[in-house]
Structure 1
Amino acid sequence: MLRQPNYIYGPNTTLVPATINFGEYMLQQLWKHKDNTALINAATEERITYSGILQQSMNFAISLTRMGIRKGDTIGLISENRFEYWGVVIGAACAGAVVSPISVGYVKGELLHVTNISKPKYIVCSPSLYKIHAQTISSMKFVRKVILFGGDKQNGTLSYNDMVLETNGCIKNVKYEEFRCAEVAGQSDTLVVMYSSGTTGLPKGVMITHLNILTLMCSRGFADPSKALISISPWYHAMGFAGCLNGLSNGVCFVCIPKFDIDLYLRTIEKYKVAQLTVVPPILVALCKDQTKKYDLSSVLFILSGAAPLRKDIIAAAHVKFPNLVMVMQGYGATELTLGVLGFFPDSFRVDKIGSVGVVVPNVVLKVTRL
């Protein structure tokens, strides 16, 4: 067959393990980097290693299976960015379950709407979000129990720590060599249900398969695993969710900033010699307008911006703010597209094309059509 002239083909040199559970792939990557630091909280200096996430993921998967979770069942996840987040996501995937990350900004009506789409059997919740939504969640007849992050139990909730920490005495650590993920059909089985922005009405549930995410993870990354990255995008959003998973699958250390604060952000760049920033335009605008001169920002070489277009004057201002900046890159994607379908890679530099959203990413085909 001949290639279609109105199709643009991304490179297909990347091998994608299409038959395996995404959780299995992530466990392999976590094991590969098990001795490295995975996440650091910029505000508290707390950190967790790759082996810590690996152990939590396997233990959580075993706990879910013992609680009756089967392939295709949904686990809701309502939480701000915190270390336990990825143990839930990867552990649920290992158990064959579907993960449904939910915005922390939803009010009662929106929360009821999105949970009626995915109908989670269990909801994992941070204590602060449970305090806000406890009454609403209790009205959901399809939810069996709430799993609460941390060690506290409230109003009949389950403790996440009891499900993943051997020291709590409720579970014995699973050995990596003895663990086996649930079998899935990677091309058709749903891994994640994420919610669209709702620009044309209420949010819609976007069904993303194991293969969708695996294709993204196996694409060529831009991050240098030896350099720390800042994570500030919410992980319930496609940009933060896919971006952080992609980094974790490549052994990157993320420094997490719980809430955007310019001083903490700039201090983090200096302290960890961050080379690449991933931002949305409002954050880059705020950074460029800041007049602080006390931090060394010379380590920043690349800035990746998404979610909305950047004006040329902001790109120019970024080159002033970050003296060694090589390029401000933009991309194009959507929740329905498993984040990005256009972007920049080391062999696609076009520093003379300001405003470009790059080239087609690996294993993706775009169709050019007349609207």
Structure 2
Amino acid sequence: MANQSTSSKITMSEDNIINTPNIAIEPTQSMGTFMFTNMKKHKNNIAQIDAKTGQKDTFEKLLQRSTRTALHMLDRKISRGDVITLCTRNHLNAVVPYIATQFIGAVIGSIDPSFSPQEMNHLLNTVRPKIIFTLPESVPILEKVLQEISLDAEIIVFGQSNKHTEFSAFLKPHAREEGFEPVKIENLQDTAVVHFSSGTTGLPKGICLSHYAFVGQMINVRLTDYPNEAYMKKAVKYICFPMTHLGYTSLYWLSAGAMLLGSIGDGHCRLVCETFDGKEAWNYIQKYKPCFVMMTPVQVIEMLANRRKEVDVQCVLNFSVIGSSISKEYLLQIQEAFPNAYLGAGYGQTEVCGPLTMLVPNDKHHAELRANPEKIETVGVPVRGTSYKVVDTATGKTVGFKQRGELRIKSKFIMNGYYNRDSSDTFDLDGWLKTGDIVYYDEDFCFYVIDRIKEAFKYQGWFIAPALLENELLNHPAVKIAVVVGIPRDDGHHPMGLVVLNDGFRVSEEEIEKFIEERVPERQRLRAGVKFIDSVPLTVTGKVMRRELKQMVLEGKI
């Protein structure tokens, strides 16, 4: 006989397979059609505000610029399936090419302007875009990378340029803008966006996400089986309408695209912030009264360190921490600093276009679970349209309540695969996606993330690929063997280098650390330091026993 949660429609079969109901409303529109329809519907609403300058942008104006950009892209023979890349920080025009790409059925694949030349080389060579929209300061590095990979992509500059087309040319009136309609996407499982994520090989992979997944996951977040009337009454009392969202991620991140799509669907306003500042964030809350705040752990820590108790925070009704986990200590500090806010819980992966588990404020039962102090560290309950199993990593057996194992899932939200790359080893023999995360769940189907099987780990929301750092370490003449592990801290995992030295070399751990610091981007530095070891434990097949090494570090044995 199947078990069923008392607080939801989640069920579990006798073989410990967790099932959820189908998605509440089946998606019928592509991302482009959805955005076009809802931007027209909410045309008089404020779509976005430049947080620093206060400049406002209505959905009507945003739609006009997006339509013109789409038409100018069509004039350049951009067609279905072509990849367009964004390489930019946040500003009022940053989302325009993103939206326009969806209008014409092309694929968006963004990178971040902070990337190193090596990272840009690999990512751009992976998707080989037809057009790159970028900032003036990123042009020199992009020109060099495009030459290295022999790619004739057009560079469009947000700002002034004597050499490349300025983005302002895409905003000029177009003869066909009257009566424009987005391209119709017949199969919503077609790829709409490529997001990048690192795996155990150390090389970032392009994750192909469908129109169905984006729109479907947005529906999961917005709709609920058990409406929370108390929360909605609080919203009417404390917030300004339309609701305003405060977040800092660029469109390289899945969360930024999801926030854009959701805000368009609801007619809500996004605060556009180019950079994060822990002191300035309080000014934005005081000035713009956002109801929804979304930050990474490191941003939360910095913001709390600069707390201003005189700021009226009653408007903040939902506070979500994204990118990686945060300690219980800081969760309690958030609750104390924002007493009116629902502390959002969630866990997801790019491979499923967002949440795998969550607790949302507009669901009464979710709010009841969230109010339980014993569940403060939960990442939520399963989402609709997805099946789950937790597998013992030693035996391969599916386990039940409060038993740890790797989470594996099946869903129509799962990626279409990796861009121009085999993804078969990401699934088990029965077709379940292997998340690489060690979890357990309780009798209410509240999930808890314990550890990662994957070698890659996150620092401040950025993936750190050990193999890349290990290769850099091996470039030092004194290094014989190198292993990089992630040491848990409040802002993610700090890389630590475990090094076996070549015979006859005398060098300090600090010298090795400095050697790496001079060769990698700032976020990839060995923040947990370097430790010298005599040997590296190996499996019978010759693979490094990475988890055992990490455990030895945590136990003080190294």
TM-score, with length taken from structure 1: 0.89
Q: Deviations over 1:270-327 (max 9, x none)?
A: 11222221111111122222243342223223211122222221122122222433x3
Q: Which amino acid aligns with 1:237?
A: W
- The range that moved more, 193-202 or 350-359, is 193-202
**Structure 2 CA distance for aligned equivalents of residues 120 and 218 of structure 1:** 30
2:120 to 92, 111, 126: 111
Whether contact under 8 Å (1:189, 1:210) holds in the other structure is: yes
1:90 to 96, 99, 102: 99
Q: Which amino acid aligns with 1:210?
A: H
Whether contact under 8 Å (2:191, 2:209) holds in the other structure is: yes
Residues 269, 205 of structure 1: CA spacing in aligned structure 2 closer, same or farther, 3 A cutoff? Answer: same
Residues 86, 266 of structure 1: CA spacing in aligned structure 2 closer, same or farther, 3 A cutoff? Answer: same
Equivalent residue for 1:159?
166
Q: Deviations over 1:73-113 (max 9, x none)?
A: 11111111122222211211111111111122211111110
Whether contact under 8 Å (2:117, 2:141) holds in the other structure is: no
Equivalent residue for 1:317?
333
Whether contact under 8 Å (2:282, 2:307) holds in the other structure is: no
Q: Which amino acid aligns with 1:191?
A: A
The answer on 1:42 being equivalent to 2:51 is yes
The answer on 1:365 being equivalent to 2:375 is no
**Structure 1 CA distance for aligned equivalents of residues 32 and 124 of structure 2:** 23
**Structure 1 CA distance for aligned equivalents of residues 64 and 176 of structure 2:** 7
**Structure 2 CA distance for aligned equivalents of residues 57 and 91 of structure 1:** 5
**Structure 2 CA distance for aligned equivalents of residues 217 and 164 of structure 1:** 29
- The range that moved more, 207-216 or 218-227, is 218-227
**Structure 1 CA distance for aligned equivalents of residues 108 and 152 of structure 2:** 14
Q: Which amino acid aligns with 2:264?
A: L
Whether contact under 8 Å (2:279, 2:303) holds in the other structure is: no
RMSD, matched Cα:
2.3
- Offset of residue 249 of structure 1: 2.2
Equivalent residue for 2:189?
188
Whether contact under 8 Å (1:10, 1:360) holds in the other structure is: yes
**Structure 1 CA distance for aligned equivalents of residues 153 and 332 of structure 2:** 53
- Relative contact order: is structure 1 or structure 2 higher (C-alpha 8 Å, sep ≥ 6)? 1
Whether contact under 8 Å (1:30, 1:50) holds in the other structure is: yes
Q: Which amino acid aligns with 1:119?
A: R
**Structure 2 CA distance for aligned equivalents of residues 124 and 245 of structure 1:** 20
**Structure 2 CA distance for aligned equivalents of residues 139 and 94 of structure 1:** 31
- Offset of residue 146 of structure 1: 1.0
Equivalent residue for 2:353?
338
Whether contact under 8 Å (2:30, 2:188) holds in the other structure is: no
Whether contact under 8 Å (1:40, 1:254) holds in the other structure is: yes
Whether contact under 8 Å (1:21, 1:94) holds in the other structure is: no
5 Å-filtered alignment, 1:219-234, equals: 219-221=220-222, 226-234=242-250
**Residue 97 of structure 2: SS of its match in structure 1?**
helix
Equivalent residue for 1:9?
19
Q: Which amino acid aligns with 1:103?
A: D
Whether contact under 8 Å (1:232, 1:258) holds in the other structure is: yes
**Residue 262 of structure 1: SS of its match in structure 2?**
coil
- Offset of residue 10 of structure 1: 3.6
Q: Deviations over 1:129-153 (max 9, x none)?
A: 2244333234443333111223x33
Whether contact under 8 Å (2:247, 2:295) holds in the other structure is: no
Residues 149, 186 of structure 1: CA spacing in aligned structure 2 closer, same or farther, 3 A cutoff? Answer: farther
Structure showing greater radius of gyration is 2
Identity %: 26
- The range that moved more, 136-145 or 278-287, is 136-145
1:122 to 131, 134, 149: 131
5 Å-filtered alignment, 1:1-371, equals: 5=13, 6-12=16-22, 14-18=24-28, 20-150=29-159, 152-155=160-163, 157-166=164-173, 171-172=174-175, 174-175=177-178, 178-198=179-199, 200-221=201-222, 226-325=242-341, 327-345=342-360, 346-347=362-363, 348-349=366-367, 350=369, 351-352=371-372, 353-371=375-393
Regions of 4+ moved over 4 Å: 222-225
Equivalent residue for 2:523?
none
Whether contact under 8 Å (1:231, 1:244) holds in the other structure is: no
**Residue 218 of structure 1: SS of its match in structure 2?**
helix
Q: Which amino acid aligns with 1:344?
A: L
**Structure 1 CA distance for aligned equivalents of residues 33 and 305 of structure 2:** 44
**Residue 328 of structure 1: SS of its match in structure 2?**
strand
**Structure 2 CA distance for aligned equivalents of residues 116 and 204 of structure 1:** 11
Q: Which amino acid aligns with 2:269?
A: C
Equivalent residue for 2:464?
none
Whether contact under 8 Å (2:12, 2:19) holds in the other structure is: no
- Offset of residue 11 of structure 1: 4.1
Whether contact under 8 Å (2:33, 2:184) holds in the other structure is: no
- Offset of residue 38 of structure 1: 0.8
Q: Which has the higher strand share?
A: 2
